[in-house]
A and B are shown apart, each in its own frame.
Chain A
Amino acid sequence: MTGAELRELYQDVILDHGKRPRNFGRLPAANRSAQGDNPLCGDRLTLTVEVADGRVADAAFEGAGCAISVASASLMTDAVKGLPVAEAEALFHRFHRLLAGERGGAAAAGGEAGEDLGKLAVFAGVREYPMRVKCATLPWHTLIAALHSAPAADGAPAASVSTE
């Protein structure tokens, strides 16, 4: 593995969002929430979401994790804000295809699945690191669990997911 390949994984956008995550915290007006755990490394995040009129009105997360997982949660919460719930789920599936595709096909993915992913396409390099794919997808699995959770306003995570 070369230094260039390492930079392919740790792109500036990922490093920036990993160090200065956007939407960090807990939404006071949240009506959906979930907790995500990666038992392999002990990472944990709590996602709070406000759903109104079938749209993701707002989303925030808190917790600790590696650069990949924190950047993924940060960019994800940015990306889904304002989207209809169904489109947020569709975005998850496109993101998942980007990461779960054949190794060695990152460039191709940037051209196909990457097109409509916007900033999320920076995670294409993660597919070359099978051990790290779960770091990038944990926030998304947590989002899906939150969206499918029973509406609640008490702020306690109503659902939980695990990478195992």
Chain B
Amino acid sequence: MTLAVEVGRGAAETAGAARRPFDPARVRDEFPALAPHLHAPRLAYLDSAASAQKPRAVIDAVAGFYAGDYSNVHRGLHPVAAAADAAYEGARRRLAGFLGAAAPEEVVFVRGATEAINLVARSFLRPRLAAGDEVLVTELEHHANIVPWQMVAEEAGARVVAAPVDDRGDLDLAALARRLGPRTRMVAVTRVSNALGTVVPVAEVAALARSRGVPVLVDGAQAVAHEPVDVTALGCDFYVLSGHKMFAPTGIGVLWGRGELLAAMPPYQGGGGMIRSVSFDGTRFAPPPARFEAGTPHVAGAIGLAAAVDWLEGLDRPAAAAHEAALLADASRRLRELPGVALVGDPRRRVGVLSFTVAGVHPHDVGTVLAAEGVAVRAGHHCAQPLVERFGLTATTRASFAVYNLAEDVDQLVAGVRRAIEVLG
């Protein structure tokens, strides 16, 4: 346990020592996909909430693994296998440090936040769920933090209830406290809304839930690219993230769970790598995290994810956060000044995301005109249909920001929306 904390701290300190002064233009240059190319002389990539671009450091780490010490893990006796093992378990320790986990064994590598939530719903919650029980989520949730709970609730005759948001798009904490009843078996809440950018005070939610003995899962998918995480300080029981939204490869993510909870959970999938011994009379399962990692894991993904953590922690994160906040504030102000443009929600704290509508112009058409101007945004319900409908809409246009965005991206966005109004308004 002590070792894990030291490893985490040690890595952060190393990164801190090498920390470079924050220069957003140089940050952007580290992303090959943002260089001028065929589709746009200058791509204003404002779709990072869907997936973030990858820095050269991550691409090189993945390519370096495949070109260098490539092997399966946990099985081979040859030196290359030992190197792959070391890299994979090193990535686990790196993520434990990044999250503030008590031990590397609390970090389970999964495909992404979606799989992590399904794992918790299936292995942790399902055995505890009886007819009439409730799972409490919020109206801010991505479908990934609704549907897995609905699936196990339906099996058990339980139901999923949602704490409401107010008209600003902030979570109504008092209402959440009222919904937290004697039948609540789980609280699952996002840290940042992928559709509105609302920042949820998850530590307060966790404190409320735990005071009633209810376990809490925090969906960090939309948060980790924008703020440091400390799961111990948060006081939650599970924290999930997707690598691809924090500059790492697709297909890799993390389920962090408190050690004693993971130790008591049955496996999620069966296969190789998750057993202690197998016979036709029965199988004894390995302890966590191996118990939850059946089959060959995404070793290259884990290595890429660790490289993304190194890259992120190498940034001056307070300066990066201030830069992102300034872009978001500038974009909000300038979009509001355009005729017929309305921002959806006005949360007290917002990161990374701006959803808006243009009077008389459908978001898909706004998105198509923006694409013609070299601006990549998303139009639709953003896999948060209940939230978008809560605001009386079926779709919005969403511009989402990351640390590599520049003032020019906001200029291009505003010019593009102006163009959409001209052509279609």
* Interface SS of chain B: helix
Nearest A residue to B40 via CB reads: A1
- Tell whether, in the assembled complex, residue B371 and residue A40 are in contact, meaning their CB atoms are under 8 Å apart: no
- Tell whether, in the assembled complex, residue A65 and residue B362 are in contact, meaning their CB atoms are under 8 Å apart: yes
Q: Is A135 an interface residue (CB 8 A)?
A: yes
Count how many pairs of residues, one from A and one from B, have CB atoms less than 8 Å apart in the complex.
Answer: 54
Interface string of A43-78 (1 = CB under 8 A from B): 110000000000000000000111110100000000
In the bound assembly, the distance between CA atoms of A123 and B424 in angstroms comes to 16
Candidates B365, B371, B388; contact of A66 at CB < 8 Å: B365
Candidates B360, B380, B424; contact of A40 at CB < 8 Å: B380
Q: Is B381 an interface residue (CB 8 A)?
A: yes
**Smallest Cβ distance from A79 to chain B, in angstroms?**
22
Q: Is B332 an interface residue (CB 8 A)?
A: no
**Smallest Cβ distance from B260 to chain A, in angstroms?**
40
- Tell whether, in the assembled complex, residue B364 and residue A41 are in contact, meaning their CB atoms are under 8 Å apart: yes
**Smallest Cβ distance from B359 to chain A, in angstroms?**
12
Set of chain B residues within 8 Å of A42, measured between Cβ atoms: 380-381, 385, 388, 394-395
Q: Is A143 an interface residue (CB 8 A)?
A: no
- Tell whether, in the assembled complex, residue B365 and residue A67 are in contact, meaning their CB atoms are under 8 Å apart: yes
**Smallest Cβ distance from B362 to chain A, in angstroms?**
4
In the bound assembly, the distance between CA atoms of A7 and B419 in angstroms comes to 12
- Tell whether, in the assembled complex, residue A41 and residue B365 are in contact, meaning their CB atoms are under 8 Å apart: no
Q: A6-B372, A41-B381, A42-B385 are in contact. Are A66 and B364 (CB under 8 A)?
A: yes
Set of chain B residues within 8 Å of A2, measured between Cβ atoms: 372
Q: Within B378-399, which residues are at the interface with A (CB < 8 Å)?
A: 379-381, 385, 388, 394-395
Q: A42-B380, A42-B388 are in contact. Are A135 and B371 (CB under 8 A)?
A: no
Task: Tell me how many residues of A have a C-beta within 8 Å of chain B.
Answer: 26
Nearest B residue to A6 via CB reads: B372
Set of chain B residues within 8 Å of A135, measured between Cβ atoms: 364
Q: Is A103 an interface residue (CB 8 A)?
A: no
- Tell whether, in the assembled complex, residue B372 and residue A5 are in contact, meaning their CB atoms are under 8 Å apart: yes
Q: A10-B423, A42-B388 are in contact. Are A19 and B369 (CB under 8 A)?
A: no
**Smallest Cβ distance from B241 to chain A, in angstroms?**
25
- Tell whether, in the assembled complex, residue B424 and residue A67 are in contact, meaning their CB atoms are under 8 Å apart: yes
Set of chain A residues within 8 Å of B314, measured between Cβ atoms: none
**Smallest Cβ distance from B393 to chain A, in angstroms?**
8
Nearest B residue to A41 via CB reads: B380
Q: Which residues of A contact B (CB under 8 A)?
A: 1-3, 5-7, 9-10, 15, 18-19, 40-44, 64-68, 70, 129, 131-132, 135
Q: Which residues of B contact A (CB under 8 A)?
A: 360-365, 368-369, 371-372, 379-381, 385, 388, 394-395, 423-424
Pairs across A and B, CB under 8 Å, 11 listed: A3-B372, A15-B424, A41-B381, A42-B381, A43-B395, A64-B362, A66-B362, A66-B363, A66-B364, A67-B365, A68-B364
